[in-house]
Amino acid sequence: MTPTTRLTRLTLAAAATGGLLTGCAAPDDSLAYQTDYSNHRPLRVVGYPSTGSLETVQKAVWRLADGDADALAALAVDDTQAKATARNWVKAFGDAAKGEVTADFYDEGSVRQVVVLYFAKSGQIKEIEARIGEKDDAWGLTLAEPHLAEATAKPTWAPSKPGHSGSRTSGN
């Protein structure tokens, strides 16, 4: 076998291997998540999130920080009031989401999880709900606050500082 033939075969083998590996590459969602992660402040986490609730809440905080109401509304499990709610959340919390945010995850998170967001920059506190949607079994947010007053209402039960995770139904 001549050196040229060997080089040609090696080149073809490398091209074939590269083609196979391309088929195994991470999906675009993974790349988008990694890019988002590197472009935003890390979310501080308290409590015990599930993988799905954590990713959903992290994306929500990123969309708030970006001021992207449409992308935030796309995280909704039910889009009935999602766009109006997302606009309210961006208006109320978008600036504060650019700073340090702590997410306090309450209750067990296999299909639904209450999360309290603490915005250090503004001192605001926001209760949200991450859950699995009924249509596609994917994690998303309950976005059902089409009026600014309800979107900005501080939860009456949540502690003033993060770190007191636990079930709201067990006396906390």
Q: How many CB atoms lie within 10 A of CB 27?
A: 8
- Provide the residue ranges of all domains of the chain, joining segments of one domain with +: 30-157
Query: What pLDDT does 3 receive?
Result: 53
Query: What pLDDT does 163 receive?
Result: 85
In sequence order, the 6+-apart residues with CB closer than 8 A to the CB of 56 are 75, 130, 139, 140, 141
CATH class, domain 30-157, is alpha beta
Decide: 128 and 140 in contact? Cβ < 8 Å. Answer: no
Query: What pLDDT does 20 receive?
Result: 41
Query: What pLDDT does 38 receive?
Result: 75
- Among residues 165, 144, 154, the alpha carbon closest in space to that of 122 is found at 154
Query: What pLDDT does 135 receive?
Result: 78
In sequence order, the 6+-apart residues with CB closer than 8 A to the CB of 89 are 64, 69, 72, 126, 143, 145, 151
Residue 25 DSSP code: S
Q: What is the pLDDT along the chain (172 residues), one digit of tens a residue?
A: 665 544 445 444 444 444 444 444 445 777 777 887 777 888 999 999 999 999 999 999 999 999 999 999 999 998 789 999 999 999 999 999 999 999 999 988 899 999 999 999 999 999 999 999 987 889 999 999 999 999 999 999 999 999 876 555 444 4
Token output for 79: 């889009």
